[in-house]
Amino acid sequence: MKIAVLPGDGIGPEIVKEAVKVLHALDEQFEMEEAPVGGAGYEAKGHPLPDSTLALAKEADAILFGAVGDWKYDSLERALRPEQAILGLRKHLQLFANFRPAICYPQLTNASSLKPEIVSGLDILIVRELNGDIYFGAPRGVRQAPDGAFEGAREGFDTMRYSEPEVRRIGHVAFQAAQKRDKRLTSVDKANVLETSQFWKEVMIDVAREYPDVTLSHMYVDNAAMQLVKAPKSFDVIVTGNMFGDILSDEAAMLTGSIGMLPSASLDRNNKGLYEPSHGSAPDIAGKGVANPLATILSAAMMLRYSLNKADQADRIERAVQKVLEAGYRTGDIATPGCRQVGTAEMGDAVRAAL
């Protein structure tokens, strides 16, 4: 089994290194091959997603991804900026199903900006569609407004769109995820305003007929943004489009107060996937050895479970992470008085030792 390792920028290399360390400590044989992506791809080959990196990602069984982005690339034209790498990988590999768990670890409840009673025991899953929506819809660009009150003025424009097969396939993924959990699925849309949302909602209702054991409800995105703050534990699984999912999954992650702990998976229809921490590249702390590698290590666990069919090894890693948390190990982002504050490498070592 071959894993493409794409460390990327900022803290990416440091945290991926720890995840690789943990993978090596398992009694499994993985072929791992590394390639530059994001700003690192641009530096090495002139493009955030070099052809050779894309080829490796295509050929591999799974992709372990760090993070991309750095202020120093802000002045590049958009097509060359680091984020294009992740958008390109999602699109070229048809990674349409993004799993973003928002879990509040019992040991870390206090890290949240929310009151402990609101978030303790929080465990929700956001299933975000990744291949469609306004992210990729055409036409898009800058033009002279063709009509309306400001006809003739310059305007920027984009196209939101979702086709029936796209909604169906993410719907099936979400219903099946809900079946393995508390069997409650909330489909988030803006059907009171958007045609795309109204269409999305109708298709979801149709898909629901195949999952009579799952309770489907619908919520407008503005209300979802409120309910996540007010009563996040009222959700089980949320399914939504690419744009709303971008916003809500980040909001939900931040509710836990420990985004440095949250993994994510982006899967294609055959469960091949890209695995990355939910947090970003944090260029401000890059190279200092203080970043939290646990989200990446837990992403590697997700990879073992979903793409590599090694659920037992995934369990081992997750238990090891639990153990190091119980033993009081904390990186700076989740540190509390009296904890054992450690750096990136020590945290990786602690997990490896706890395996």
Q: Does 225 bind a copy of itself (CB under 8 A)?
A: yes
122, 102 in Cβ contact below 8 A? Answer: yes
- Residues 6 or more apart from 119 whose CB is under 8 A from it? 104, 109, 112, 232, 233, 255, 256, 257
Q: Give the shortest CB-65-to-a copy of itself separation in angstroms.
A: 17
**Angle between helical axes of 294-306 and 311-326 (0-180°, round to 10):** 160
d(CA 229, CA 232): 6
Centroid of chain to Cα 182: 21
Task: Note if 190 is an active site residue.
Answer: yes
Task: Note if 250 is an active site residue.
Answer: yes
Q: Does 141 bind a copy of itself (CB under 8 A)?
A: yes
Give the end-to-end CA distance of the chain in Å, rounded to a whole number. Answer: 21
Of 296, 290, 300, 289, the closest CA to residue 332 belongs to 290
- Residues 6 or more apart from 9 whose CB is under 8 A from it? 38, 39, 40, 66, 67, 68, 69, 70, 82, 281, 283, 286
Task: Note if 220 is an active site residue.
Answer: no
| Among 135, 211, 275, 306, the one annotated catalytic | 135
Q: Per the annotation, where are the binding residues for NAD(+)?
A: 280-292
| Among 61, 190, 201, 349, the one annotated catalytic | 190
Residues 61-80 that bind a copy of itself (CB under 8 A): 78
Binding mask 228-267 for ligand IPM (x = CB under 6 A): ------------------x---------------------
Binding mask 280-319 for a copy of itself (x = CB under 8 A): ----------------------------------------
Measured on CA atoms in the order 136, 171, 95, 182, is the torsion positive or negative?
positive
Q: Per the annotation, where are the binding residues?
A: 90, 100, 128, 222, 246, 250, 280-292
| Catalytic residue positions, numbered | 135, 190, 222, 246, 250
Give the binding site for a copy of itself (CB under 8 A): 78, 81, 83, 87, 113-115, 118, 134-135, 137-138, 140-142, 145, 147-148, 150, 153-166, 190, 192-200, 221-223, 225-231, 243-244, 246-251, 253-255, 257, 259
Give the binding site for ligand IPM (CB under 6 A): 83, 86-87, 192-193, 222, 246
